[in-house]
Amino acid sequence: MDLRLYFATALAAYLMGSLPTGYLVARARGVDIRKEGSGNIGATNVFRILGKPAGIFVLVVDGLKGYAACAWVADLMLRWFANPEIAAETVRITAGIAAILGHNYTCWLRFKGGKGIATSAGVLAALVPAALLIIFAIWVIVFALTRYVSLASISAAFSLPFAAWFTRNNLGIVLVTGAMGALAIYKHRANIHRLLEGTENRIGAKPREARS
């Protein structure tokens, strides 16, 4: 095992994932997104505070961070270290996990970041696109029925390892996607508490107090 390859891949992918897109977009508009709404730097809070164009931009860029880490950074490192004995998929998985951790715990904002849904989707698009389609369909259905972004995201995260098993039937991928889903649910623990209390905000409803 070439530890240098994995370390370099993880570091580069982490730094790519750590780009705080929502924070930077909001600062460009003179807003500290950490002090508005839920205080989260993710696309949902940006959407609520700055509007649809800004929210969509943050969503797309956060997703591209995850995809680029797996599809480009990992392949670049594989070519750089040129070790044919190393399985490319393990390097891409390393890059994907590091990018998600970079987004969730960005070093540029004292290790406080987003919830990783868009970045995780980008990682899944590179690793298991068929599973991504399944959980995206689940997200859309739950959101359409409830108008809760958080509940849709939690449902998709919970379904992820099952979708991965159904489409790939690979134990390693199932374990990795299970960890990704568990992390996403953990990052939504405040939302789960509000859902149980009945105080979570719906998209399209007048907010009690903006949260995401």
**Cα-based angle 158, 41, 97 (whole degrees, multiple of 5):** 50
At 209 the pLDDT is 47
**Cα-based angle 107, 112, 115 (whole degrees, multiple of 5):** 115
Q: Name which residue leads in pLDDT, 170 or 211.
A: 170
* Closest to 76 measured CA to CA, from 87, 84, 68, 64: 68
Q: Is the pTM of this model over 0.75?
A: yes
Residue 206, Cβ neighbours under 10 Å: how many? 6
Per-residue pLDDT at 117 exceeds 90 = yes
pLDDT, one tens digit per residue, over 46-96 is 999 999 999 999 999 999 999 999 999 999 999 998 776 678 999 999 999
| Dist. CA 151–CA 153, nearest whole Å | 5
